[in-house]
Amino acid sequence: MQIVEKSGEGLSRVYGVTVPVSDLNERLEARIKEIAPTLNVKGFRPGKVPTAHVRRLYGKALMSEVVQASLNESTQKVLDDNNLRPAGEPELKPEGDIEAVMDGKADLAYELTVDLMPEFTPVDATTLTLTKPVYNATDKEVDEAVADLAKQNRTYETKTGKTVKAKDGDQVVIDFVGRVDGEAFEGGTATDVPLVLGSGQFIPGFEEQLVGAKPDSDVVVKVTFPADYQAANLAGKDAEFETKVKEVKAPVDAPADDEFATRLGLESLDKLKELVRGNLEEQYAGASRFKLKRALLDELDSKHDFPLPPKMVEAEFASIWGQVQADKEAGQLPPEDAEKTEEQLQKEYRKIAERRVRLGLVLAEIGRANSIQVSEAELNQAIMNEARKYGAQAQQIYNLLRENPNAQAQLRAPIFEDKVVDLIISQAKVKEKKVSKDDLMKEDDLPAGYSE
């Protein structure tokens, strides 16, 4: 085997690798002799198939195995002999006539390109000083949350009298038949449907046309389905709904008292408040941790400056830019981005890609130095959590994820990152600072320099 370093600039290395055809043929012969005794071929006694016949029948397939094994072994030899720590999978580019190689008539030659992990010393976590914003739920917030909960569980009572008309917030009970171009369409007919006017439950324009309707009245509702409506055969189409308003009901708020708490399955109003407070505190604790983690990442970013593997940056940028382009086509770019040129956006998002790669390498190195691992139990829990999102298909998705190494790597990565972040925070100096709810919940901007 011949290995020649072609170039070695920065973190990129390019090697020329040649595996002599004699080595390939020698390994092929060994493989043929290995399997020949196990074959059962028509016309020959079991285990007595001549090697020449095995070569004619299976030579190409076996040579393919030999070539793949040679590629794997020679690539690993390049990495081991040169003490290389690759940043991602090396790239292999075949050279010469690959068909001749498969026929056992030519050397296996290829070019191996590999990006290297940068050499750097991570910052000492004990030298970091971080501020953790904290906010505690107030009694007023708890009372308001309980009141909102009661509002969501309101009941509706039928309105009576000759002057009854539906208004926003009322519930109407309706039958309807929807038609497009005079033809009723699938899913457009229903009976005894309760609809709260102003809830936005139906397509735009439907509920507004029922405001003012009387009980036992007929209303023709004319609407246009949204262009992005989920049923493609209706998207953008004009439709008419022959609607029968059967009842008009007024909302009746449920008082936030012990009886209301009991209806929700709790012992008392105090227990309900206790539960609500716990939920609010959990929400604020999550926001607090998110802010602390963001502050930590900003610190790590500012304290590390080292060359980045080019292919890692390009892959991260491609992922980010693909999402930006999709958002642009859908008209969903943030207002601050919509006014920028493509060149400006590419420059900014490339900086963000570099930040992500830099931070990923720093966290990975700290995790490696501290032997941080994601256990099988932690990974399995993450797989189960992901599978549960698919309802009835949960078991099928679970099985697929268990068999997919790439999917498992994607689930393992955030667990590993959080464990490393927890380790650093436990070693750093963390000061708590009380802040307002608005300050805790507002979205942070990127550090200076990322939008220039």
CA dist 338 and 360 (Å) reads 29
Hey, is 119 helix, strand or coil?
coil
Q: What angle do CA 80, 81, 82 make, to 5 degrees?
A: 90
- What type of residue is 223? V
Is 391 in contact with 359 (CB distance < 8 Å)?
no
HSE at residue 376, side-chain half, CA atoms within 13 A, is: 1
- Rounded mean pLDDT, 274-292: 96
Q: Does residue 180 surpass a pLDDT of 70?
A: yes
Residues 6+ positions from 423 with CB-CB distance below 8 Å: 125, 366, 367, 370, 372
What pLDDT does 302 receive?
94
Listed in sequence order, the DSSP H helices in 83-173 are 98-102, 139-152
Check residue 229 and report its DSSP letter: -
Residue 244's φ and ψ, nearest 5 degrees, are -105, 115
Is 41 in contact with 121 (CB distance < 8 Å)?
no
Is 225 in contact with 236 (CB distance < 8 Å)?
yes
CA dist 412 and 380 (Å) reads 10
Of 178, 172, 242, residue with least CA distance to 207: 172
Question: What b/e sequence results for 282-313 when a residue is b if at least 16 CB atoms lie within 10 Å of its CB, and e otherwise?
Answer: eebeebbeebbbebbbbbbbeebeeebbebbb
DSSP-assigned letters across all residues of 284-340: HHHHHHHHHHHHHHHHHHHT------HHHHHHHHHHHHHHHHHHHHTT---HHHHTS
Secondary-structure class of domain 155-252 per CATH: alpha beta
What pLDDT does 449 receive?
65
CA dist 447 and 302 (Å) reads 9
Q: Using pLDDT thresholds of 50, 70 and 90, give the confidence band for residue 33.
A: confident
R_g of the chain, CA atoms, integer Å: 33
- Indicate the angle between helix axes 376-388 and 405-427, nearest 10 degrees: 120
Is 113 in contact with 90 (CB distance < 8 Å)?
yes
263-441 CATH fold = Trigger factor, domain 2 (1.10.3120)
Domain boundaries, the chain: 2-115, 155-252, 263-441
Q: Does residue 258 surpass a pLDDT of 80?
A: yes
In this structure, CATH architecture of domain 2-115: 2-Layer Sandwich (3.30)
Check residue 137 and report its DSSP letter: -
**pLDDT tens profile 402-436:** 999 999 999 999 999 999 999 999 999 999 999 99
Question: Among the listed ranges 33-42, 259-268, 269-278, 326-335, which one has the minimum average pLDDT value?
Answer: 33-42
Question: Strands 429-434 and 129-134: what pairing?
Answer: parallel
249, β-bridge pairs: 158, 171
The encoded tokens of residue 285 equal 């604790």
Q: Using pLDDT thresholds of 50, 70 and 90, give the confidence band for residue 451.
A: low
The structure's pTM equals 0.73
Strand order in the sheet with 12-19: 2-7, 12-19, 108-115, 91-95
CA dist 273 and 140 (Å) reads 11
- What type of residue is 229? Y
pLDDT above 90 covers what percent of the chain?
Answer: 79
- Rounded mean pLDDT, 373-391: 94
